[in-house]
Amino acid sequence: MTSRTPSSVTALDVARIKADFPLLQRTIRDGKRLVYLDSGATSQKPSSVLDAERRFYEMHNAAVHRGAHQLGEEATDAYEGARETIARFIGAQSRDIVFTKNATEAINLVAYSLGNASFSDTVVGQSLSLQPGDRIVVTEMEHHANLIPWQELCRRTGAELAWLGVDDEGRLDLSTVDQIINDRTKVVAFTHQSNVLGTINPVAEIVARARAVRALVVLDACQSAPHMPLDVVELGVDFVTFSGHKMLGPTGIGVLWGRTEILAAMPPFLTGGSMIETVYMDHATYAEPPQRFEAGTPVAAQAVGLAAACDYLTAVGMDKVFDHEHALTSYALEGLASISGLRVIGPNNAVHRGGAVSFLVDDIHAHDVGQVLDDRGVEVRVGHHCAWPLMRRFGIAATTRASFYLYNDFSDVDALVESLDAAKSFFGVK
């Protein structure tokens, strides 16, 4: 097993990259080498990100957008500078970037704001509102974060939820897309890359159909923004959401990008300080985006940390990150194919596919697979991966998932494959 040669050698100097990540230097389970294959859940952080956050607190911490004093100016500059960096990272303008605490809040923001549109004073605001009989379309492979907020919006507005199915290979079934995304469809929300299957969805095709019926398109980029170059203009969607913690950034920050004119029409979601224009006891008027959507003291240090993460990724090169993970994924799929009784849930080849690889091992429950791997220092995720309906689609309860990032190398994949062999021996499975 260990003597297989990587199917391609990649341009990344992983040893050097790994050295930037303090946590990856530690050992696990009594001194074993740590093989971290759970970046799909959350990524580790390079020192430069931790340093940037700390520098903010030690040098420039003050209330952003509220202080007229020097510290306040410095804090505001740091925060707004971070917005510019993060905007650049996805080809956006900074005024279209809204900071939230995670991607989940970003998606809820859109759903609640559309729900609030029916109470809007303005005609443009009202035009975004949903009526009974309107439709919201998602897919069967969505993370709960991009499913339940829409279920709840349907419940509040009387709109109906419909969804695109998934085929046996783990691709979206687009054969009925024209029926499912019908004339009454107001929102199409789908994931760019599945966190379970690894599938990369055909954005352009879905956008074309959504445009034809004038539906808004929400793209959940949680699993793509960290792993491939993104350009919001090219994507052609209306909203993009992702989380900082999955892309080398801190916990506690998410990003919503929205089209200028749509953000401008949307009513607020969270309300409070810093998102207002004028306030009276009985009513208030609201600031322009992005401030309108950032109520309260912002996630300032986290924005600074995420900007440092974007700088790190940009310095490495997102195309190289993608190529590297692509190579790891191909190599992993080959390795897994060599294990009898192992079935990959999701595409079996690396075409239009990212580095989240889910699988079942015959006669060993995912929890038990995960346990044996963990005992050997190989950290994977087991369970439904917050995509329970997708599990039902495949008639299963749980999978084991390995997911890769720029700091993984071929030896990590070897460790995975070896440990799976060990798990099989342990449970006496052939």
Partner 1 sequence: MYQEIILDHYRNPVGRLILEPFDVEVHHVNPTCGDEITLRVKIDDGVVTAIGHQGQGCSISQAATSVMTELLEGRTVQQALDVEAGFLALMQSRGEGQPDEDLLEDAVAFSGVSKYPARVKCALLGWMAFKDAALQAVAQSVKDQS
Ligand X SMILES: Cc1ncc(COP(=O)(O)O)c(C=O)c1O
Map the footprint of partner 1 across residues 20-79, applying CB under 8 A.
65-69, 72-73, 76-77
389 binds, among ligand X, a copy of itself, partner 1, none (CB under 5 to 8 A by kind): a copy of itself
For the segment 69-128, give every residue that binds a copy of itself (CB under 8 A).
69-72, 100-105, 107-108, 112, 116, 119
Whether 125 contacts 265, CB under 8 Å: yes
- Binds partner 1 (CB under 8 A): choice among 213, 295, 397, 422: 397
Residues 356, 223: contact at Cβ < 8 Å?
yes
358 binds ligand X (CB under 6 A): no
Contacted entry of a copy of itself, ligand X, partner 1, none for residue 50, CB cut-off 5 to 8 Å set by kind: a copy of itself
- 214-to-45, 120, 237 alpha-carbon distances in Å: 40, 21, 12
The one-letter code for the residue type at 39 is S
Structure tokens at 330: 């191909």
296 scored as a contact of ligand X (CB under 6 A) = yes
Q: How far apart are CA 112 and CA 296, in angstroms?
A: 17
- Residues 19 to 78: which contact a copy of itself by CB under 8 A? 22-23, 26, 28-29, 34, 36, 38, 41-42, 44-45, 50, 53-54, 57-63, 66-72
Do 27 and 377 form a contact (C-beta atoms < 8 A)? yes
CB 359 within 8 A of CB 342: yes
Stretch that binds partner 1, among 53-61, 100-108, 346-354, 382-390 (CB under 8 A): 382-390
Residue 397 contacts which entry, ligand X, partner 1, a copy of itself, none (Cβ below 5-8 A, type-dependent)? partner 1
Helices (H) and strands (E) in the chain, counts: 15, 17
351 Cβ neighbours under 8 A, 6+ residues apart: none
Residue 22 near ligand X by CB under 6 A: no
398 binds partner 1 per the rule CB under 8 A: yes
- Footprint of ligand X on 126-155 (CB under 6 A): 143, 145-146
Per CB under 8 A, contacts with partner 1 among 283-302 are 287
**Encoded tokens for 297:** 């003291």
Which of 174, 213, 287, 386 is the binder for a copy of itself (CB under 8 A)?
A: 386
Residues 6 or more apart in contact with residue 67 via CB below 8 angstroms: 73, 75, 76
Residue 32's SS3 state is strand
d(CA 299, CA 259) in angstroms, rounded, equals 22
**Residue 20 binds which entry of ligand X, a copy of itself, partner 1, none, CB below 5-8 Å type-dependent:** none
> Smaller CB distance to ligand X: residue 159 or 189?
189
161 binds, among a copy of itself, partner 1, ligand X, none (CB under 5 to 8 A by kind): a copy of itself
> What is the bridge-based pairing of β-strands 239-243 and 254-258?
antiparallel
Q: Which stretch binds partner 1 (CB under 8 A): 18-26, 54-62, 276-284, 320-328?
A: 276-284
Q: Does 371 bind partner 1 (CB under 8 A)?
A: yes
User: DSSP class of residue 426?
Assistant: H
Scan for tokens 């959401």, then name that residue. Answer: 241
- Is 230:90 a contact under the CB 8 Å cutoff? yes
User: Is the CB of residue 305 less than 8 Å from the CB of residue 244?
Assistant: yes
- The token duo for 364 is 């060993």
Stretch of residues binding a copy of itself (CB under 8 A), selected from 184-192, 203-211, 223-231, 370-378? 370-378
Nearest CA to 310 among 206, 225, 387? 225
Instruction: DSSP for 311-375, please give it.
Output: HHHHHH-HHHHHHHHHHHHHHHHHHHHTSTTEEEES-SSSTTB-SEEEEEETTB-HHHHHHHHHH
Contact between 102 and ligand X (CB under 6 A)? yes
Q: Look up residue 46 and give its two tokens.
A: 């390079």
Chosen from ligand X, partner 1, a copy of itself, none, partner binding at 125 (C-beta under 5 to 8 Å by type): none
- Cβ closer to a copy of itself: 296 or 341? 296
310 noted as active-site residue: no
Comparison of 31 and 132: residue with beta carbon closer to partner 1 = 31
Using CB under 6 A, which residues numbered 178 to 237 contact ligand X?
Answer: 191, 195, 220, 222-223
- 307 binding ligand X? (CB under 6 A): no
| Burial class of residue 158 in the structure, from the number of CB atoms within 10 Å of its CB (0-12 exposed, 13-18 middle, 19+ buried) | exposed
- Tokens read off for 50: 């931790």
232-291 positions binding ligand X, by CB under 6 A: 243, 254, 273
How many chain residues are in contact with a copy of itself, going by CB under 8 A?
97
- Would you please indicate which residues are annotated as catalytic (active-site) residues? 386
Q: Provide the binding-site residues for partner 1, judged by CB under 8 A.
A: 65-69, 72-73, 76-77, 276-278, 287, 365-368, 371, 375, 382-384, 388, 391, 397-398, 426-427
Q: Provide the binding-site residues for ligand X, judged by CB under 6 A.
A: 102-104, 143, 145-146, 191, 195, 220, 222-223, 243, 254, 273, 296-297, 386
